[in-house]
Structures are given as C-alpha cells and as structure tokens.
Amino acid sequence: MIIDFDTLELKDRYKIMSRTIIPRPIAWIVTEGKSLNIAPFSYFMALSSEPPTLIVSIGHKKNRDPKDTLANIRSQKRCTICFVTPEQITKMHQSSEPLPSEVSEASHFGIATTKILKDFPPVIDDSPAAFFCTLHQEIELGGKTIPLILKIEEYYIKDELFDKNYDFDFHFVARVGKEYRLCDKVIEP
C-alpha cells in the first residue's frame, strides 16, 4: 500500500512518522526567557558531527504563538539539551503540560537544576549528559513546526560516567511509537 502524504491530515502524518521513525531520543530543552523553561522533545536528532549540530522541531501553542522554547531560543540564541533517564519519566511528563510563560517548570514541578556555564541555561541535576547549544539556523517549512539547527558548543557529562576513550554507557529513554523504551524494558506513559 502506498499512502500519499499530501492527502493526509496533519495528525495522521504525525502518527505515521512518530511510529515509524524509531527510536527517537527524548531530551529536555532548557531555555531562559520570562522564566526558566524546561520542555521535553522527541522530534530531536543528531544532524552532523562537522559542524556538530542537532535538529529539533518545535511547534506553536494552540493560539498560534510560538511555544516558549522556540521564543526563548529565537531571543537568547542558546539552549541546554539534557537527556532523560527512566527515573525522570514522571517529571518529564509533568513538564510537558502547558504553563504560562512566566511560570517555570523547574519550580512548578520541582525539577532541580544547576548552572554550569554562565552563558547557557542550567543543566537538570539528574541528567547524566547535556549539550550546550547555540542557534545555528532556523528553517521555514511553511508548516506548524519550525525546525531549528542547533550547534553544539560544549558537552557536559557526570564525572563518574566519563570514559577517556569517549565510550560512554548511557541508559536514556527513547520514544518508540506510543511507548518509551530502554533496552529491553518497556515503560508505559
């Protein structure tokens, strides 16, 4: 069967893509604006190692305003991308709830953070690794989401996980269709 994407509604395109392109890593994107914003994203991927870049697609709010993450990256040109562990799934789900721009997910949901680099938003305390990124390029596709290419400037890894050969062993959460997976373990949302 061939499915013509031009004939599909947006929700059906999303459903096909999100359940076929798997696994997709989940990352918290931390930005600063009216408050400290923490938002989870699974439309996020490595793009290139030269230059070191990532791509994330960010949508708009129901009223068509840019989501806080998009507005903050456009304004500040910086973000910190923190990876999610299985122990963080509950807080990750909570942080996806829409809040007013002036309310921080960090304080509202009790997500502890630590400022590591003065020019970048903080790292989520329990995240074992994070990328400190600058906005490299915004891509206008004419749709509801805006892909951003983010350049990796610095990398954070917890000291106890560092390996001098860069053979890091992580147990991050990834999206697989409607479920989250970590190796052989399935975690229901």
What is the rounded CA–CA span in Å between residue 89 and residue 189?
Answer: 8
Supply the CATH number for residue 124's domain.
2.30.110.10
Q: Tens digit of pLDDT for each residue in 127-171?
A: 999 999 999 999 988 888 899 999 999 999 999 988 888 887 877
Question: Does residue 90 belong to any structural domain of this protein?
Answer: yes
What is the rounded CA–CA span in Å between residue 168 and residue 160?
Answer: 10
Q: Tens digit of pLDDT for each residue in 36-81?
A: 999 999 888 888 888 999 999 998 888 888 999 999 999 999 999 9
Token look-up 């190692």 returns: 49
Mean of the pLDDT values across residues 1-20?
80
Question: Does residue 3 belong to any structural domain of this protein?
Answer: no
Q: How many structural domains does the chain have?
A: 1
First to last CA, the chain: 31
Question: Does residue 161 belong to any structural domain of this protein?
Answer: yes
Question: Does residue 189 belong to any structural domain of this protein?
Answer: no
96, 39 in Cβ contact below 8 A?
A: yes
Closest to 110 (Cα-Cα) out of 25, 187, 38: 38
What is the rounded CA–CA span in Å between residue 144 and residue 62?
Answer: 10
Q: What is the pTM of this model?
A: 0.85
Count of residues making up the chain: 189
Question: Does residue 112 belong to any structural domain of this protein?
Answer: yes
187, 181 in Cβ contact below 8 A?
A: yes
